[in-house]
Structure 1
Amino acid sequence: MPLRRRLLVLVALVLGACLLVGGALTYWAGLRKIELEMSSAIAVGSSAVMDALNTIQGSSDPEAQLTRIVGAFDGDRHLVARLVGPDGALKSASRLKAPVDPPPAWLYELLEGKIHKQTFTLPDTLKNLGSITLEADPHNEVGEVWEDLQLKFIIISGFCGIVLALIYASLGRALKPLDDLSVALKRVGEGDYSAHVAEQGPEDLNLIYRAFNRMADQLRTSEEQNQRLNEQLSTVQEEERSEIARDLHDEIGPFLFAVDVDAQSIPLMLARNATDDVNSRAGAIRQSVQHMQVHLRGILSRLRPAMLIDQGLTHAIEHLVAFWRTRRPAIVFQTDIEDARFPAHIEEAAFRILQEGTSNAIRHGKPSKIGLSANRTPEAALQIVISDDGSGIAASTKRGFGLVGMRERVAALDGTLEITTSKEEKGVMLIARIPLPAERRAKTSDNKQATSAA
């Protein structure tokens, strides 16, 4: 069941319960009112009949006088007077005033209450004329209760109708954004992150709308970032492939050709018994193979630096700097790498950060000098700094694949990454801090205590 309908049903049930309670209270008040009116009417009527009977003995026509006493109650709203003969036969009776709005039979049965009736015995000299009875008739009083009940029912029904209409309109206005939210959620589920909901209505629902809009904005930003990262990743991969292909072509290709030429000439030399030339050719082939092995190790170290990192971060950075020096001899590299071992995952993360930071600086900053450092801080953290004197990072590069990858790598180790202007106020300085594990912190603390004691 929709929320609006459920709330309306709940409100209708509450109003219905109030209507029932009001009806019960009206019924109880009507019973009391009728009982009080009937008792009062009998008391007043009895007093009038007693006064009239005290004067009847001196009358010349007592029966006519009795008939006039009974007739005096014609048109009364509550009492019916009757003159009953000694044999029980009805001689005369007053006429009750008819109710303006006769109540239904079921209501009369509910409110009738007990019968109020009183019989007046005539003096002994007039006993042959019979007796007078007074009986309270609640029809008119029940009619008043019925009119009051109808009026209250109309008022309460109108009030309930107005309340329900106002609630329906208010709920429709307040919950309309929920319908929009449902549609927006469906659009988000289908991958359309531009869906938004109007932030209007009750404050409690506004919190939901604001949270949804923020979520949609974040998803859209993430989607756009993922697209940019995929494009840049493809570009980086293509650049890496092109560079590897160029290295293989420029560095490995000539030596393979040389090895092929030398290998083809060896059989001819053997046919001429030119042993010295064969040895010379074999040495040349060996030198070519060694040269190709060096270049292959360099390529493999770029693709998979684990072998370099196994020998320590200092060794890995030396190979990284050597790689770039052969390709960018004009750049001056300054390194300050602490000659210590750290946990393998931290050394790998540090190498990747230094590798990517150096690559970014060379590709985007066009620097003449690059500084690389990795040292332990007093706060038991490994601080990695890459600085250059290049042109800085453009706005489009700040959200590049390399920086995002470094941020994610550092965040995974509960570290921080900061990008500022270098000390010379030219170029970029990238500072990453990675907390060291607890055991390394303990060792650092012990070393400090030992130094203090010394």
Structure 2
Amino acid sequence: MPLRRRLLVLVALVLGACLLVGGALTYWAGLRKIELEMSSAIAVGNSTVTDALASIETSGDPATQLRRIVGAFDGDRHIVARLIGTDGTVKDVSRLPLPVDPPPAWLYRLLEGKIHTQSFELPPSFQHLGSITLEADPHNEVGEVWEDLKLKFLIIASFCGVVLALIYASLGRALKPLEDLSAALNRVGEGDYSAHVAEEGPEDLNLIYRAFNRMAGQLRTAEEQNQRLNEQLSTVQEEERSEIARDLHDEIGPFLFAVDVDAQSIPLLLSRNATGDVASRASAIRQSVQHMQLHLRGILSRLRPAMLIDQGLTHAIEHLVAFWRTRRPAIAFRTDIDDARFPAHIEEAAFRILQEGTSNAVRHGKPSKIGLTAKRIPGDALRIVVSDDGTGIAATAKRGFGLVGMRERVEALDGTLEVTASKEEKGVMLIAEIPLPPERRETEENTKTTSAA
């Protein structure tokens, strides 16, 4: 059940309970009022009849006087007077006015209470005329209670209706931000992270709204990063495939063709008994295979550098430089790599940064010199620098995927990445700093202490 409806039901139950309590109190007050009115009416009627009977002996016509006594109660709202003959028949009865709005029978049965009656015996000389009885009739008094009850219930019902309407409107206004928040949560659950909730209303709810907007923003940023990473991955994979295809075509293809030609010529040479030429062709085939093996090893090392990194960052960078020297012999490489060992995840990140930085410089900068540096600096961090004397940062400004990947890799290790113009005002300098973990710092300090001892 929605919160608004639940609160309305709760308020309606409370108002209904108040209405029942009010009805019970009204019933109790009505009983007391009717009992008091009936007792008072009988007392007044008793006094009236007693005084009238005291003067009946002096009356010339006692029968007429008795009818007058009964008639005196005509129009009385609470008393019915009757003249009862000696045989028990009613010879005369006063007329009781009926209520304008008669009460329901069930209400009359609830409120009529005890019947009040009073009988009067006539003087001995007039007892043959019968007797007079008075009976309190609560119909008119119950009618008054009924009128009062209807008015009270109308007022209470109107009040309850107004209160419920005001509460409904107030709850609608107060709960609208929560309904908006619920709708926004549904949108987030369906993958729409652009959902936003207005930060309005009570401060307590504002804290929730701000937290939700912050969460939605972080989810949207994460989704954008994932999308960008997927695009980057696709682009990098496509570039890597293209480069491998070029390497295989340009480097492996000619040697395979040469091996095929040499292998086809061997049967012909053997048929001519040219054994010397066969040995020469076999040697040429072996050299071609060795060249292809070396080239394939270089490709595998570039794709899967884990084994190289296991032997140290210096060894891995030497293979990286050797790979590019065979393809870009015109570029002069300068390396300055710290021989110290670092945690495996930091060494792998450093190698990937140097690899990607070198690849970007070769592809986009057209440099003649490339410098690769990985040194531990004061402050317990590893500083990685890739510099070149190529066309400069403007030429690489639109290349985004490699740089994004490096930046995210560095930020995952709580490091920083900066790309600036080279100090010689030509080319690009990529600078990354990765903090070393505490374990590495303690190990190095212990090593230094041991060496000093």
Shorter-chain TM-score: what band? Answer: 0.7 to 0.9
Cα 1:347/1:197, change in 2 over 3 Å: closer
Cα 1:302/1:59, change in 2 over 3 Å: same
1:317 aligned residue: 317
Aligned residue type for 1:419:
L
d(CA) in 2 for partners of 1:179, 1:165: 22
Local SS of the residue matching 1:307: helix
User: Structure 1 residue 299: deviation in Å?
Assistant: 0.7
Aligned residue type for 2:434:
R
Q: Residue 415 of structure 1 is aligned with which of 413, 416, 434? A: 413
Note the 1:55-454 alignment, pairs <5 A: 55-56=55-56, 59-85=59-85, 88-121=88-121, 130-162=130-162, 178=179, 185=186, 189=190, 193=192, 199=198, 226-260=226-260, 271=272, 275=276, 283-328=283-328, 333=333, 335-360=335-360, 362-363=362-363, 372-374=372-374, 383=382, 385-388=384-387, 390-391=392-393, 397=399, 400=401, 402-406=402-406, 409=409, 415-422=413-420, 427=428, 429-431=430-432, 433=434, 436=437, 440=440, 443-444=443-444, 446-447=446-447
Local SS of the residue matching 1:73: coil
User: Structure 1 residue 176: deviation in Å?
Assistant: 11
Deviations 1:86-132 (A, max 9, x none): 55443433222210100111110111122233344556666555544
d(CA) in 2 for partners of 1:107, 1:302: 100
User: Structure 1 residue 139: deviation in Å?
Assistant: 0.8
User: Structure 1 residue 186: deviation in Å?
Assistant: 7.5
d(CA) in 1 for partners of 2:150, 2:253: 107
d(CA) in 1 for partners of 2:234, 2:152: 79
> Does the aligned pair in 2 maintain the 1:177–1:200 contact within 8 Å?
no
Percent identical: 71
Cα 1:159/1:443, change in 2 over 3 Å: same
User: Structure 1 residue 80: deviation in Å?
Assistant: 2.1
Local SS of the residue matching 1:118: strand
Local SS of the residue matching 1:416: coil
d(CA) in 2 for partners of 1:421, 1:289: 42
* CA root-mean-square deviation: 4.7
Which runs of no fewer than 5 residues in structure 1 stay unpaired?
A: none
Cα 1:347/1:57, change in 2 over 3 Å: farther
Cα 1:141/1:384, change in 2 over 3 Å: farther
> Does the aligned pair in 2 maintain the 1:184–1:197 contact within 8 Å?
no
Which runs of no fewer than 5 residues in structure 2 stay unpaired?
A: none
d(CA) in 1 for partners of 2:32, 2:448: 95
Scaled by the length of structure 2, the TM-score of the pair is: 0.75
Local SS of the residue matching 2:114: coil
> Does the aligned pair in 2 maintain the 1:117–1:136 contact within 8 Å?
yes
Local SS of the residue matching 1:318: helix
Aligned residue type for 2:23:
G
Deviations 1:355-409 (A, max 9, x none): 33443455556667655444567777x63534446417977655x3x45545665
User: Structure 1 residue 83: deviation in Å?
Assistant: 3.6
d(CA) in 2 for partners of 1:378, 1:115: 110
Scaled by the length of structure 1, the TM-score of the pair is: 0.74
d(CA) in 1 for partners of 2:376, 2:56: 130
